[in-house]
Structure 1
């Protein structure tokens, strides 16, 4: 029997990789782990392995649904060494596997992009072109992008049903709004619709909705096909997926078969499927899309049954690993509002099951819910400290991200962070350039600035390499990295002047603020009027002010040594003349001149629910850093939490005025 074969007897990687693919569907966990251990050993011993062996390893990981980044990284190194021997087909397969395994390599993307651009002229058949479009499209520059879109339009009639799906998926990734290509793909789709199975139809509908397709005839046909699958569906996951995607269709009227099928499968649904059905029901009820009698009452009853099924499922769970697996794809309103607290409580009951193997998915869950549960966070810190030597550096980074974002100090906080930082700084080679920026920002939010990391990031050659790799990252990640580099630069300038790092984000910040419109909401206008009333006029308070290093504060005023307000020399534009759009004061205007002796600049910040952990008055990391930095800039910071301002205690204008007056003039 194959599982009885000693792994140690395999001498050749080719035999091992073929075996792994062949038995991946029936393999036990223990034998899987032995195979992975042997594969890692061989990857470390053999410098010149064929890239096909590495591809099989990735396919094995995909088959067993295991995201094991240490092994993927070793395969990635083989691909980088073999880049000259890779073609469009191999690169497309690798990109697809990386996507499934949640892995991304900017370095591989960069060299692959160059190779793909050089081979564009050779991709003249539909199969090869679609693979080129899938890999090159999301990271292409404007000229190459336009050429790809034009060629896709010319070839559209030749695409198979699968190729149409790949092109639409890639267009969604590219955030493509090319109406000509979209119309062309929609017209081609009509001849392929009957060949798709149910989950392909679900994905197809999601792509078309995301791309803002307005072909009502196509959506009508999709609706009929989805209804057909819904009527015959007996698989809860398929039923939930169909119901969720039907809710995305424009001008959709709910038919009774939907609620009937939903009610039938609820007891068998996993939490993710319940979440999908709940989202659809809530949307339909909100827009009154039920068109039979007593629709609201039926919807409420169905939602109550759905809630009961969710609670019952949670109460039956006695295995933390299985619970975390269910929670991986759960998010949104129903989960947040109905079962989040019960889910966290269940995790607390199973806290004794937290191990090295599940500490990362648990951290991801707590980060997603913004829940600072002390017992779980302390246990995560304890397990991490015990297992640090066996953990991948990226796992430790993510756990520190959790503590930093939630502004939570575990027991022996300084020792815990110091140990983690020492491990990370000894293994910086495991991180890509953009990951080092994200790591630096996470540590800065927590108040840590390891010299070896800071000096590595703020280095001309590093920043040049980062700039090149940013070009191949997804747009959302690219913007995130640039923003976090700016925040790290700001934090180092303010908190670590001894590093002598210059502030080089002036132009970046100017562009960001020039491209954003600051529309002041009615609440802030209301507070501004009250502050003007307290201080003696609108010329004593400024709203939406930019500070040095480009922090934006809600309100600013200046009090002299006797707590008397000082008037600003430059009059700001009245809000009612620009319909609530405020032109921010420039950070170098006269309002920034030196203050009289004893005067104090006051920053008033209104903190909404996003500034706090869920169902808590505990301030998150970013707002805490902002307060710290504003104080370094010479401000006295007054924070107005939403739960105080919106409380019954401040239900009248007089009480609100007294609250603001106390915080302005009282002892802070």
Structure 2
């Protein structure tokens, strides 16, 4: 229930409470703050004078600063640890009774997004108070619909929808009001907002008034607005039962119009900063299929405009696209290296990320790694713990292990701080950080034994293994069967073999010193059901490994699907190479089978596949 409440926002406060806030000096000073430290400075100097409006403004701004950063780059822990944040919490708890309805819910939302725990007394008191007021909020809204503006109706609708407010007749009224606003609007941002909210309401098909309005304003829409409209159209397509039987020209024509306008906007753009701002929140199938290629052409055309201020944003965008673009990356590396002292130390993570993830190696890239390491090293203890783990892992993928960074992360003090922070992170980021810490621990143990970092993730990996009974693809089943034929029998190959440090190798075989296959004395611990489900025998978790005779070798055969390569490319990504390096350290000869080779026209017959495997393994 608490997380439903977060959807009610500052718009509703303006609707239900017509009075304006007093524009006193403290409020004015808060409103011009551009960073967390400035907000805390105002709070610290005016503790005794802060009103409920001041507290609401300060908390809202602290969340706004975090929201503007990508989730991986947020510094919530630093904000929460500031002494003046505790001041705001105490003041908020003492002033709950003075908050109007929507101020209460807004502040609750901000505190939750700043990772204040649900069991915290502040949150519990605010939640209890908010639920008492929600019914009254909704009834007041119904009485005042005739005075609201379009943006206000849209936000009301979205808030009540996310709150799962049960009143179909009221939602029908809201929908009709929004369509009326839509028909009379000529502002792209307003039209986009209304379309986005309308798409969340149950409607069997696209209203003709929506199509007409999009046609009227689409040439004025920016890339983010075009992307938002494409998401809305996709929802209508999924909800229209007749679409499954025939292709409605209105949907096709609308998507074509969006694509054409997107291309034109990119082709006529002349400011890199504006393009990056519009691309910041753009994602999804429509963008990747229709505009991604043109976006890269535009960014390359604007390479001369890359500077130290926009290089981290461009680098982060390239990471998201999964596209390798050497000219852009060389330019980023050159600019960032030259002006590294102007780049904030925490932005080195975003700057380095595409070079690591996309496995881009060049002279400029090597200089960038060195420059970034020198830049962030003096500030290691100022990073949010989870961000430092992610930074160290990205460097490990690129085979860089700065000793001071590694020793800090695997210190008792840091691991304690990280453990405390993990309890406050969203589930997805929590799991991602835990996984990255394990992978970093494994990488350091294997690549840098001289650091003498202990391997302490054995139990964690066993738990992951037991939870992770996944599935094996038809291609992997096909390779498994053919390996048996090539090697002389299914007892000469084992599937889903768990190595020391818990890598799972697709297939393992053993060859003697004459490259002849050796049989396994123990049967495979893997069981594959008819539906491709994978189940492991408990023995597989004990890292059972048969000793090799003198001169023999252990071969790991891995099938690499499209996720192991850059988009629309045969260029292998960093994590696939990291895995190969580690398996070689563990004593394997690693044979990688790229999906584009296995699925190629040259390997379209049974004998061709077998011959391919022979050349790869029995060389």
Q: TM-score range by the shorter chain?
A: 0.7 to 0.9
How far did 1:570 drift?
3.4
- How far the C-alpha of 1:159 sits from its partner, in A, is 5.8
Matched residues in 1 for 2:579 and 2:162: separation? 35
* Corresponding position: 1:439 with 2:398: no
In structure 1, C-alpha distance between the alignment counterparts of 2:390 and 2:543, rounded to whole Å? 36
1:570 corresponds to 2:516: no
Instruction: Indicate yes or no: 2:256 matched with 1:304.
Output: yes
Aligned counterpart in structure 2 of residue 491 of structure 1, from 443, 447, 456: 443
CA displacement 1:343-384 (0-9 Å, x = unmatched): 111111111121223222221221221222111111111111
Matches within 5 A, 1:361-372: 361-372=313-324
Distance 1:511 1:292 in 2: 42
Gaps of 5+ in 1: 1-51, 63-71, 162-186
* Distance in 2 separating the partners of 1:87 and 1:507: 51
Q: What is the TM-score normalised by the length of structure 1?
A: 0.77
Q: What does 1:546-585 align with in structure 2 at a 5 Å threshold? A: 546-561=498-513, 562-572=515-525, 574-576=527-529, 580-583=533-536
Pick closer, same or farther for the CA change 1:595–1:392 going to 2, 3 Å.
Answer: same
Q: In the alignment, which of 96, 100, 110 is matched to residue 123 of structure 1? A: 96
Aligned mates of 1:509, 1:56 — CA distance in 2: 52
Match of 1:105 among 76, 79, 87: 76
| Match of residue 128 from structure 2 | 151
**Who is 1:527 aligned against?**
479
Task: Name the CA shift for 1:579/1:75 in 2 (closer, same or farther; >3 Å).
Answer: same
Question: Cα gap change, 1:270/1:129 in structure 2, threshold over 3 Å: closer, same or farther?
Answer: closer
Contact 1:55 1:75 in 2 (8 A): no
Pick aligned residue for 1:516 from 468, 475, 483 = 468
- 2:590 alignment partner, SS class: strand
Matched, 1:613 2:532: no
Distance 1:263 1:290, change over 3 A: farther
Deviations 1:582-640 (A, max 9, x none): 22665554742332223322222222222211111111111211111111111222222
What is the distance in 2 between the residues matched to 1:292 and 1:492?
52
Would you say the 8 A contact 1:520–1:582 is kept in 2? no
Query: How is 1:156-555 mapped onto 2 (pairs within 5 angstroms)?
Result: 156-157=133-134, 160=137, 197-202=149-154, 219-250=171-202, 252-285=204-237, 288=240, 296-555=248-507
Deviations along 1:106-127, one digit per CA (max 9) or x if unpaired, are 0332565798489758735664
Contact between 2:557 and 2:590, CA under 8 Å: does it hold in 1?
yes
**Secondary structure, counterpart of 2:453 in structure 1:** coil
Match of 1:60 among 18, 26, 32: 32
Instruction: Label 1:574 to 1:461 Cα distance change in 2 as closer, same or farther (>3 A).
Output: closer
CA deviation after TM superposition for structure 1 residue 152, in Å: 5.3
Query: 8 Å contact 1:157–1:188 — kept in the other structure?
Result: no
Preserved contact between residue 546 and residue 586 of structure 1 (Cα < 8 Å): no
1:658 aligned partner? 611
The equivalent residue for 2:547 is: 594
Relative to structure 1, the CA distance from residue 231 to residue 458 in structure 2 (aligned partners, 3 Å threshold; closer, same or farther) is: same
| Bigger mean CA offset, 583-592 vs 336-345 | 583-592
Report SS of the residue matched to 2:432. Answer: helix
Corresponding residue pairs, total: 581
List alignment gaps of at least 5 residues for structure 2: 1-23, 69-73
Higher RCO (Cα < 8 Å, 6 or more apart): 2
Q: 1:429 to 1:556 in 2, by over 3 A?
A: same
What value does the CA root-mean-square deviation take over the aligned residues? 3.6
- Alpha-carbon deviations, 1:515-559, whole Å to 9, x = none? 333122333223323323333444333333332222223222333
The 1:573–1:322 alpha-carbon spacing in structure 2 relative to 1, beyond 3 Å, is closer
CA distance in 2, matches of 1:267, 1:372: 30
Residues 320-351 of structure 1: CA deviation (Å, up to 9, x unaligned): 22222221222111211112111111111111
Structure 1 residue 149 displacement after superposition: 8.7
Distance of 1:110 and 1:205 partners within structure 2? 36
Give the corresponding residue for 2:19: none
